Structure 1
Amino acid sequence: MKLTFGKYKGTEARKLLFDDPAYVRWLLGESGASGGMLAAQKEFTRLIAALDKKPFAGDCAGGCKQPATRASAYANSPTLFSWCDDCDPYSKGALPGKLRTVRTYADAERHVNLTAEGHRATLKAIIRELAMEKGMAKRFTASALAAFLP
């Protein structure tokens, strides 16, 4: 779906989800939406739910060869490390209390809001990193996005 309003008129929703998640956050927070804005809210909600349902694609960073089920992020960083449910993210030397668990789009947003003051570039980076941990190609092309989030 392409947006039909505003500064991103004509932009594919899938692309915008990863190019400007701060705008998506603002849009989803708008109450009383109608028309194109309401349609965009529904599409972003659908896309986020589809991303959240995707399993992690890689192995655990703990070296156990189990499939990853979650990721950890260090305070003020968009870099994610994937873990199985059995391995301890702190086992690689992180300082106690400095890691946040990230499984979903909302977890990634919460991490950036709490540790990076909602920094837009950090939010974009962690959302993209989460998608890649869940199997998205490194290049966020229109065809790759359509294959990843149908």
Structure 2
Amino acid sequence: MTQQLHLGAAERLKGAGLRSTAPRRAVLEALHPGGHLDAAELFQLVQRELPDTTLQTMYVVLSALTDAGLVRKIEPAGSAARYEVRVGDNHHHLICQGCGRIEDVACTIGHAPCLTPSETHNFHIHTAEVTFVGLCPDCYDATDESPEKG
């Protein structure tokens, strides 16, 4: 994890040049334990603390936090966008196509971008986003592919 996670939400917002509003702090605090939450899940968590928060506010906050580099948005195919506070380390994701579980995976080799495309088209590449899709152990065990089912 990056060192910025050890700072409080207000300090992280200030460091990114953002005003420290209650909804922004609440979103950062909801994401701090880790995980990959969608806007609806975050809305439910934040609304417990700030009942007047609207879903529209949630999207505005998430956009501001993402633009400021405090939150990373990942967009798994066929799923709602997910948000996490692990930023700046060019990690990747494992996604279960059965239950939707998402796990972080360290950069595949070395430093960012850790992968080099066969053709760069003269781009100056600084990150690589890789998504590994498969089945988590629980979903795999429930399929006919599992050796225990055969």
TM-score range, shorter chain: under 0.3
Q: Which has the higher contact order (CA 8 A, sep 6+)?
A: 1
Q: Output the TM-score relative to the length of structure 2.
A: 0.26
Q: Output the TM-score relative to the length of structure 1.
A: 0.26
Q: Which has the higher helix share?
A: 1
Q: Which has the higher strand share?
A: 2
Larger of the two Rg values belongs to structure? 2
